[in-house]
A and B are shown apart, each in its own frame.
Chain A
C-alpha cells in the first residue's frame, strides 16, 4: 500500500514541479505516437474505405491479412524493423536505427492494420445502409465516400483513438528499434520498463499513473462524444 501512495505522491510531484525529464519523455511519447497515428490514418482510412466499397479478386484475402495483423506481437514487429533498418539491413543506409523515426515506423506497422480493419467494417456497414438511396440519387462515388466518412465520423474517431491507445502503450517494438536512449528515444513505456528493472518502483508506478491518466482522459472524451452521438442516433 505504501508503495502505491508513494507512487501517487511521486507522480503529483513530477507533474506539479514540471519535471523537465518527465515532460521530455511525455512529449516524445506523444510526438512518436501522434505522428505514427497520423500516418497510419492517412494510409489506413482510405485503404479501409477502399476495401469496404470496392469488390475485387482477393479482397477477402486482404481483409483476413489485416485482421490477422491486428494481433501482431510488438516484439516481432520490433525485430523485423530492427533487421530492416540495422546497418546490415536493406534500409541500413537510412541510418534511422535508434531514432524516433524507427519508433514511428514500428508503431505504424502495429496500428495501421487496426485502422484499416475497423474502418473497413464501419464503412461497409454504412455503405450497405446507404446503397439503394445513393444509387437512386446517382451520387458520384467521391461524394458517396465523403458522406460515408462524415456520417461514420464518431465510429471512426473510436478507431483513431483505439490506434492511439495501442501506440502510446506500446513498449516491445519501440524498445528494440529505439534503444531507450536517454534524451533521444526514451518514452513513457520504455522508461517504466527501465525503472522497474532498476528497482525504482515508485518512479515506474508514477509514470504508469501518468500514462493511465492520458488513456483515461482520451477514453472519457471518446465516451462523451459517442454518448452524444448515440443519443442523436448518429451512430
Chain B
C-alpha cells in the first residue's frame, strides 16, 4: 500500500478562522464566522443547503476572496506555499479532457512530484488500477470522484478539503473514500469535509462545525454534538427537520 511520507507534511494546523465574512455579490454568505481546526482531526462541516459550507471550504483553500476577518494556518496567513500543501476535492469533480493517467501526470508535473510508481500505487489505492488509458470523462460518477481523490493524494497534502465527496456515490466508492480518509488522518493529514450524511459524520468525524445561514452555530466534539446538540437548529437538523 502507498504510504505518505510524514516528514513531508508541513504543519498547517491549527487553522484559526477569525470573524470571517465573505460576500458573493451583495449576498453575505459567511457572517463573522470563527472556529479552530485542530491538527490531525477529521472535521465534518454540516448544515442545510445554502448554509455556506462549500464557500467556507473554498475560502480556506483560498478560492474565494475574504471580505473581513482572517484565516491563519499555524499562525501564518494563506499564501501559495501553504496552498500547495492543501488539496481540495470538489463535489462535482473537474477532470481534464485526457485519460486517467494524464490527469495524474498533470498534477505530478504542476506540483513537481516525481513518480510513475507513486501514481500507479495511488491509482491502485483508489481502485482505478488498469484505468490508465481510459478517458477520464467517460468514468462513472464514483470513479470520477475516486480519480479526483487520487489527484489530491498525489499532492501529499497536510490539509485535505473534501466538499461532499461521497454525495450520490455507490457503496463501493463511498466505503473506499471513507477508508482512505481515515488512513490519511492516521498519517497526520488534517481533513475537513462537508456532508449531509449524518451517519458518515458520526462514522468519521472527531469534530463537528454546524452551519446555518452563513453562521457557525456550534463547533464541538462529534460525540457531544450528536448526543446533546446545544442549539435548537442543530437538534432540528439532526432529526431531519427543515430549517427555515
Nearest 8 Cβ contacts at the A-B interface: A233-B137, A232-B135, A133-B94, A151-B97, A136-B88, A234-B97, A138-B83, A139-B110
Q: Is the CB of B96 within 8 A of A143?
A: no
Within 8 Å CB of A235, what residues of B?
A: 97
CB closest chain-B residue, reference A151: B97
Centre residue among A126, A152, A232 by max chain B CB count within 10 A: A232
Question: What's the least CB distance linking B61 to chain A, in Å?
Answer: 6
Binding site for B on A (CB under 8 A): 126, 129-130, 132-133, 135-140, 143, 147, 151-152, 232-235
Binding site for A on B (CB under 8 A): 58, 61-63, 80, 83-84, 86-88, 90, 94, 96-98, 106-107, 109-111, 135, 137-138, 155
Q: Is the CB of B80 within 8 A of A138?
A: yes
Q: Is the CB of B138 within 8 A of A136?
A: no
Inter-chain CA distance A234–B84, complex, in Å, is: 28
Within 8 Å CB of B62, what residues of A?
A: 135
Question: What's the least CB distance linking B60 to chain A, in Å?
Answer: 11
Q: What 13 additional pairs, Cβ within 8 angstroms, besides A137-B107, A139-B110, A232-B138?
A: A130-B94, A133-B90, A133-B94, A136-B61, A137-B110, A137-B155, A140-B110, A143-B109, A151-B96, A152-B97, A233-B97, A233-B135, A234-B137
Inter-chain CA distance A88–B137, complex, in Å, is: 59
Within 8 Å CB of A135, what residues of B?
A: 62-63
CB closest chain-A residue, reference B93: A133
A234 and B98 contact, Cβ closer than 8 Å, known pairs A137-B111, A143-B109: yes
Within 8 Å CB of B86, what residues of A?
A: 136
Inter-chain CA distance A152–B61, complex, in Å, is: 27
CB closest chain-B residue, reference A152: B97
Inter-chain CA distance A133–B97, complex, in Å, is: 13
Within 8 Å CB of B106, what residues of A?
A: 147
Inter-chain CA distance A126–B97, complex, in Å, is: 9
Within 8 Å CB of A143, what residues of B?
A: 109-110
A151 and B94 contact, Cβ closer than 8 Å, known pairs A138-B83, A138-B84: no
Centre residue among A130, A137, A139, A151 by max chain B CB count within 10 A: A137
Which of B63, B96, B97, B137 is in CB contact (< 8 Å) with A136? Answer: B63
